Amino acid sequence: MVKIMKYRISFRGSIIILFIVLYLPSLLLLNSYFVKKNSEINKVLQNIKLSESLSNLEFKTGEDSLKAKNLLNQFNENMAARSFIQHESQIYSAVFLFVLMLLSIFIFILIFYRISNPLKKLQNATSKIAKGDFSLHLEETGIKEIKQLTQSFNSMSRELDSTQKKLLQAEKDTMWKELSRILAHEIKNPLTPIQLSIQRLEEKYEIDPEKFYEVFPETVNIINHEVNNLKLLVSSFSNFAKNINPEFSEFNPRTMIDDILNSYQHNFEIKTSGENCTILFDRTHFYQIITNLVQNAIDASEKEDNILIEITKSNSNIIVSISDSGKGINKKDINKIFEPYFTKKKKGTGLGLALVKKLVDVNNANINVTSKEKEGSCFEIVIPNRSVLNQGK
């Protein structure tokens, strides 16, 4: 069987062949046209032998006059033909050049389009890749060089797509591992005191039944406390995983903050600017956000430290800020604090601030953090003013 080799002419090759096919025959045609016209003119000039022919006539007879007339006619005719051929050459060569020019422009545009169009597609595809869409596949057609470029691009796109998928899978695996580690750790922590309490109760019951009733309430209390901790842990994981839909209602944030702070034994300072300011927010979400941030502030601070809570109102926003003068957040960590499972606490799930961020987002608000190590942190919740929200609607 004869193996047919697929061979595509390169772009440079195409240009050279095009030049040879188009321009050389054109030049040859033009040249042959001028050679032909030149030979016609030469033929005319050869016919003009008036002086020689006239010198042979004696003009003595009517026949000589007729011959002279014919000679003159022939001379004039040849003069006319010479002049006419010249004009004709001028016109036809100009038309030929013009048509050649049009043809060249057409071919130039065609080639330009065949180069620029795939390049434009590549440019668009590159911008899409830059935006993270690696699933692109360009049609591998056109001139050889462009086809090769497109093939390389498609190969690169496939590689990037595959790498991205691997990275996502790796990230997912890491997340699951980290989650499992945290869950195991968090479940193990309360299990130890529960186990110890049960052992203690068994011991007392068998060895010293009298003392059993003395330690029973305290031990049961410990078990209850740790079971509650486990419940809290499960509920915080469950909350984070939930799809949260806010139920907006209008309320005074100051009132709710006061209620929350009542359950804590710490020094708080509350400042409010603007009387009777209200926000449009999900009440439960607001409660969760403030509770989390206040708890974090307490955890980061010493017992005697003051925690400042400010509510400020501007034309477009209401800002609730919670500032502590605790240990602050390390510069390296500040970007990660809202990531799930990131924690620096010994007994933290790493879901508190991640949940706060999620709740703030679903309520169309923003959260900002400023922190300086060993000086403290400030969390600001920027809530769009109710009137601005209404105007937006």
Partner 1 sequence: MFEALAGKVVSGVISLSMMLFSSYEGNQPYFSQIAVSMAGNRIFIKTELVDAFDNDFEDIFRSGKQIDVSFNITLKNGSNVISDDNFKHTVIYDPLTDLFTLIIEELDETIIIDSYQQLLKKIAKIEYTRNIDSAENIIIEIESYLSKIKFDSFGKKYDLMILWKLKKPKAKVTYGKDHEI
Helix segments in the chain, DSSP class H: 11-47, 50-55, 62-130, 144-207, 209-241, 253-262, 283-300, 352-362, 386-392
Residues 57 and 153: their CA atoms lie apart, in Å, by 89
Helix, strand or coil for residue 186?
Answer: helix
Which of 37/147 has CB closer to partner 1? 37
**Residue 95 C-beta: closest distance to partner 1, Å:** 5
- Cβ closest to partner 1, residue 46 vs residue 276: 46
Query: Taking the complex as a whole, how short is the minimal distance between the CB of residue 31 and partner 1, in angstroms?
Result: 16
Q: How far is the CB of 86 from partner 1 (least distance, A)?
A: 9
- Closest by CA position to 256, among listed 225, 284, 293: 284
- DSSP states along 242-270: SPP---EEEE-HHHHHHHHHHT--SEEEE
Which residues of this chain interact with partner 1, rule CB under 8 A? 40, 43-44, 47, 65, 68-69, 72-85, 87-88, 90-91, 93-95, 97-99, 101
The minimum distance between CB 101 and partner 1, in angstroms, equals 7
Region of residue 328 (phi > 0: left; psi between -120 and 50: alpha; otherwise: beta): left
Whole-number Cα distances in Å, 130 to 123, 125, 136, 248, 347: 10, 9, 12, 38, 41
Contact, 278 vs 386, CB < 8 A? yes
State the minimum distance, in angstroms, from the CB of residue 80 to partner 1.
3
Residue positions counted in the chain:
393
Q: How far is the CB of 92 from partner 1 (least distance, A)?
A: 8
How is 286-319 classified by DSSP, letter by letter? HHHHHHHHHHHHHHHS-TT-EEEEEEEE-SSEEE
- Nearer Cβ to partner 1 (49/347): 49
Do the Cβ atoms of 10 and 145 come closer than 8 Å? Answer: yes
Q: Minimum distance between the CB of residue 79 and partner 1, rounded to whole angstroms?
A: 5
Judged by beta carbon, residue 12 or residue 87, the one nearer partner 1 is 87
Q: Considering beta carbons, is residue 88 or 302 the nearer one to partner 1?
A: 88
In this structure, the number of other CB atoms found within 10 A of the CB of residue 25 comes to 10
Residue 77 or 269: the one with the smaller Cβ distance to partner 1 is 77
Beta carbon nearer to partner 1, 78 or 219: 78
Q: Any idea of the CA torsion for 200, 203, 209, 211, to the nearest 10 degrees?
A: -40
Residue 69 or 211: which CB sits closer to partner 1? 69
Burial 322-340 (b: 16+ CB within 10 A, else e): bbbbbbbbeeeeeeebbeb
Beta bridge partners of 2: none
**Minimum Å distance from CB 8 to partner 1?**
37
Nearer to partner 1, 10 or 70 (CB): 70
* 3-state secondary structure at position 20: helix
* Least distance between partner 1 and beta carbon 66 (Å): 9
| Integer angstrom CA distances of residue 251 from 273, 275, 276, 292, 314 | 16, 13, 10, 19, 17
